[in-house]
Amino acid sequence: MTAPQAEPTTRDRLTATALSALDQADFNARLGHVFEHSPWVAEAAWAARPFASLDALHGAMMGAVVAAGPDATLALLRAHPALAAPGPLTPDSVREQGEGLGALGLTEANAAYAARFGFPFIVAMRALPDPAAIPAIMAVRMAHDPAAEKAVALREVAAITRFRLHDLVATEDSLTVHVLDTARGVPAAGLGLTLSRDGAVLGRFTTNAEGRCPAPLLAGPALVPGIYEIAYDVAAWRGAGDPGFYDRITIRFRVDPDPGHLHVPLLLSPYGYSTYRGS
């Protein structure tokens, strides 16, 4: 296995698509540090490329962890530092632990946890609104049986590494939609929509069983600045005899340079609808 090299700065971030095009050495140099002292995760995930999104990349990395088996996952958990413990930390752990954990007096709790489960207590610090809650969280998790706690620890690893990848992977310009039928509490499947820019039709699409389109409506260089409209053919979707006030709903919005990921949800009911810019 190769050791991870210096971490890229935010100025060097690549999209998931661009990362997919790297050879294994360059891929691991950029992402080998994401899983604590475990560059083998990036090495294994590289074989699953191409990655359509950050989520797909993270899913491949977590899949590599699970596929590696119980001994490898235990070694991965043991590679994490104890909270507020003395000794050198990786740059990622330094950023995540921050300052002030020493005041929580975790030394004895850390030792008791490690003695019970065989690995250090792991929690996604960036998901905690208040680090002062850590002792209470530890107390709850100490009551778990070892198998259940190992599963919890792996979920925390998943959260930690998702945050780390978010810092490293650039968002690719894309436009996506999601339509929910709020009257029935289900996705709006089979709803036709038309995408236009500056008055010119760019394409026609239909939502799938999840209320989404299988791929972005536009992605990459195709998502240029302009005034866009998404027009939903609600009347055809509802069908004859189905109550509803709207026959066609048009959402008009502006796309600026370097838009990133634009997500346009539609919450639809027979007599009203709402929309917002999502992510």
Q: Are strands 192-197 and 200-206 parallel, antiparallel or unpaired?
A: antiparallel
Give which of 79, 27, 84, 81 is closest to 50, Cα–Cα: 27
| HSE (side-chain half, CA atoms, 13 Å) at 149 | 20
Name residue, tokens 């490293």: 168
CA distances from 232 to 73, 198, 245, 252 (A): 47, 17, 13, 12
The catalytic residue among 37, 80, 144, 166 is 80
Q: Catalytic annotation on 166?
A: no
For residue 37, the number of C-alpha atoms closer than 13 Å in the C-beta half-sphere is 14
Cβ atoms 163, 124 nearer than 8 A: yes
Please list the active-site residues: 80
